[in-house]
Amino acid sequence: MENLLNAFVLLSNFVLVPAIAYGSQLALGALGVTLIYAVLRFSNFAHGDLMALGTTAVILATWGLQAAGIGLGVLPTALLALPVGILAAAVLVLLTDRWVYRFYRRQRSDPVIFVIASVGVMFIYNALTRFVIGTDERRFEDGARFVIRAGDFREMTGLAEGLAIRTSQVITVVVMLVSVAFVFWFLQKTRTGKAMRAYSDNEDLALLSGINPDRVVLITWIIAAALATIAGTLYGLDKSFRPFTYFQLLLPIFAAAIVGGVGQPLGAIVGGFIIAFSEVMVTYAYKGFLGYLLPEAWQPEGLVQMLGTDYKFAVSFIILVVVLLVRPTGIFRGRVI
């Protein structure tokens, strides 16, 4: 019995808890990507770097607040700085839309042209981030680091394995739930949210109904910028902030959006967790876990790790390819890219 508990705690500590936190971050990123796809009809390659830029603004504001001695006690100061980052990201995407995407929208350009334009925007955001904050790793987490420490857990339960839950992980899940609940409420219940869905469903009929496309596009960008900043900040708190990792997040985020069904908000959430769990589970070494469950004679000699952590991006990539081959609409019957 105790072996079983130890095995479960071990798995929770190294797989479940990290995957839930990582899944929440991917879900928020994928939700932004999918909303942009639903309304503006293109895959926004600049989303990862938008996350980086939004987070940069949050970090700068956090430093400012820390210097002024303002904090949230046990909670990270970054939460207080979040609105600043969201505002900065929103201004940035709205300017980008005005200077780049609006031109192509008026031309009624093909989606692929938007995608290429967004690649250009990605490089500019990327450079902007490096100009502003540099390429180094930044840690901006403060407040209490742990909700439960591994040592305390061991003492409390008397188990051999410890379960550590970090503040940033709890905050990630809570903020994700609040943000997703807000976005769904907005899309389902408000007039503007319904107009967004109508515009995504049938653009011509939406225009006939008097829905103002400029307003729909504006609101979509603001929501996407907010989601990107929140996702980026949570990721940075949970792991650390490096511009390059944010660029790399693009792959799992797109995989999540496509697995769930592009243009389907619920699909983005589900997809985020599928990708996160796959990535963490495939790269986890099960030696210790099996050690608790298997009799002495069957103990594995190797690490029982399916894939090295260096290859974690391969997991998203394989899932992406398989989904596109087998079920290109994704789980929730989204659009085919």
Partner 1 sequence: MTFLVAEEMTGGYGNGPDILHACTIAVDRGEIAVIVGPNGAGKSTAMKAVFGMLPLRSGRVLLDGRDITTLSPQERVHAGMGFVPQVANVFVSMTVEENLEMGAYIRDDDFSGTMEQVFALFPILRQKRRQPAGELSGGQRQQVAVGRALMTKPTLLMLDEPTAGVSPIVMDELFDKILEVAATGIAILMVEQNARQALNIADHGYVLVQGRNRYTDTGEALLADPEVRRTFLGG
Interaction site with partner 1 (CB under 8 A): 191, 194-195, 197-198, 200-202, 204-211
- Provide, rounded to whole angstroms, the least separation between the CB of residue 114 and partner 1: 22
Report the alpha-carbon distance of residue 223 to residue 240 in Å, rounded.
24
- Provide, rounded to whole angstroms, the least separation between the CB of residue 222 and partner 1: 20
- Provide, rounded to whole angstroms, the least separation between the CB of residue 206 and partner 1: 7
- Provide, rounded to whole angstroms, the least separation between the CB of residue 77 and partner 1: 41
288 by Cβ neighbours in 10 Å (0-12 / 13-18 / 19+) ranks as middle
Q: Which is nearer to partner 1, 149 or 335 (CB)?
A: 335
111 by Cβ neighbours in 10 Å (0-12 / 13-18 / 19+) ranks as middle
208 by Cβ neighbours in 10 Å (0-12 / 13-18 / 19+) ranks as exposed
CA angle 312, 119, 54 (to 5 degrees): 75
Q: Which is nearer to partner 1, 208 or 326 (CB)?
A: 208
**Cβ atoms 284, 305 nearer than 8 A:** yes
**Those residues with Cβ within 8 angstroms of residue 289's Cβ, 6 or more apart along the chain or in another chain:** 7, 10, 11
- Provide, rounded to whole angstroms, the least separation between the CB of residue 212 and partner 1: 9
| Residue in 7, 2, 57, 39 with CA at minimum distance from that of residue 233 | 57
Report the alpha-carbon distance of residue 181 to residue 289 in Å, rounded.
35
CA angle 137, 238, 35 (to 5 degrees): 100
The residue written with tokens 């619920």 in the block is 266
Report the alpha-carbon distance of residue 32 to residue 253 in Å, rounded.
10
Q: Which is nearer to partner 1, 44 or 200 (CB)?
A: 200
Residue 123 token pair: 């490089």
Q: Which is nearer to partner 1, 190 or 299 (CB)?
A: 190
- Provide, rounded to whole angstroms, the least separation between the CB of residue 209 and partner 1: 5
Q: Which is nearer to partner 1, 73 or 210 (CB)?
A: 210
Report the alpha-carbon distance of residue 322 to residue 311 in Å, rounded.
17
| Residue in 253, 220, 256, 246 with CA at minimum distance from that of residue 58 | 246
Report the alpha-carbon distance of residue 184 to residue 34 in Å, rounded.
13
Q: Which is nearer to partner 1, 188 or 299 (CB)?
A: 188
